[in-house]
Structure 1
Amino acid sequence: MGLITPGLGLIFWSALGFLIVLFLLTKYAWKPILAALDEREKSIDHALKSAEIARNEMSNLKAENEKIIQEAKIERDNMLHKASEAAKQMIDEAKEKAQLEGAKMIESAKAAINTEKLAALEEVKVQVGILSMEVAEKILRANLSTDAAQQKLMDDLLKDIKLN
């Protein structure tokens, strides 16, 4: 039974050794170990807080980027809308200008045609007059070559004249 139950001297020296080691550890090692643990805890807390701050900043940046992208899309849409309106306006102006030019050209052509028509009619009148004079001259020469024919013409003309 001696092996199972320790002796009083062994318990005393074991307790004394334990208390000395406990005293030495408390005096020299306990404070630095606790200080290191506190510092480690503080650094972990600081890292967690920094990570939280970084996460918040990232979410803020992401929201800001989304806002900037949305504004850029709106601005792009506005620019496209303005460009399409400007193009439509330019096309409408070009059509209107072309219609005005076409109308002017048509009016000018009508005026030129009318002028040419009047000139041609005048020329025809002159030619008809000349031809009529030549025909009348030939007829008169042929018919009035004798005195009897001249007298008959005068009588016919006098009959046609009605006196009041």
Structure 2
Amino acid sequence: MNPLVTPNLGLLIWQAITFLIVLFLLSKFAWKPIMAALREREQSIDSALQMAEKAKLEMQSLKADNERLLNEARVERERILKEATETANSLVEGARAKANEEGQRMIENAREAIGHEKQAALTEVKNLAATLSINIAEKLLNRELQDEQAQRALVQSYLQDANLS
């Protein structure tokens, strides 16, 4: 048979001794540092996972806070817009009422001024008519009373009118 398939007893013993020596050396010098490195690696992985979980929780908390702040900002914006609209409407209504009041006051003042001007114009027309009447009467009297006979006739006519009344 082939020596590779069925090993020799001496070869088997030497291989076992070599294996035990390597195992002893590895356990004495390499096993502890390898295990320490593996434990350290495991701890760093656990630490990284814990930090990732903590970061995830913080992100969820920040996201919730962000949503809450956004909702509060929306509510505040709506409130401010509503107040601004109400204020603008009240200002417009106030201005409209004041303009109407001012317009009515101006109309009343204009009516009064027109009434005063009308009265002044009527008075002026009456005075002018009276002055014109007096001037016309004076001119007529001057023309009629230029001679003495006309004067006597005028006095007679006034006397007759006075007796009839």
Q: Report the TM-score range of the alignment, normalised by the length of the smaller protein.
A: 0.7 to 0.9
Residue matched to 2:86: 85
Q: Is the alpha carbon distance of 1:149 and 1:61 closer, same or farther for their aligned partners in structure 2, counting shifts above 3 Å?
A: closer
Aligned length: 160
Question: Following the alignment from structure 2 to structure 1, what is the Cα–Cα distance between the partners of residues 40 and 153?
Answer: 160
Letter paired with 2:111: K
Relative to structure 1, the CA distance from residue 38 to residue 148 in structure 2 (aligned partners, 3 Å threshold; closer, same or farther) is closer
Amino acid at match of 1:70: N
Pair 1:102-2:116 in alignment: no
Q: Which residue of 2 aligns with 1:18?
A: 19
Q: Which residue of 1 aligns with 2:127?
A: 126
Query: What is aligned with 1:9?
Result: 10
2:29 is aligned to 28
- What's the Cα RMSD here? 2.9
Task: Give the TM-score normalised by structure 2.
Answer: 0.75
Q: Normalising to structure 1: TM-score of the pair?
A: 0.76
Q: How does 1:42-53 map to 2 (within 5 A)?
A: 42-53=43-54
Deviates more, 1:46-55 or 1:3-12: 3-12
CA 158–46 in structure 1, closer or farther in 2 if over 3 Å, else same: same
Amino acid at match of 2:109: S
Identical positions, percent: 49
Cα deviation for residue 124 of structure 1 reads: 2.7
Where does residue 40 of structure 1 map in the other structure?
A: 41
Distance 2:9 2:151 in 1: 197
- Cα deviation per residue 1:3-62 (whole Å; 9 max; x = unaligned)? 243332222222222222222222222222222111111111111111111111112112
Q: Structure 1 pair 129/21, CA: closer, same or farther in 2 (3 Å)?
A: same
Structure 2 CA distance for partners of 1:146 and 1:58, relative to 1, 3 Å: closer
- Where does the alignment leave 5 or more consecutive residues of structure 2 unmatched? none
Task: Point out the more displaced range, 130-139 or 92-101.
Answer: 130-139
CA distance in 2, matches of 1:146, 1:50: 138
Structure 1, unmatched stretches of 5+, are: none
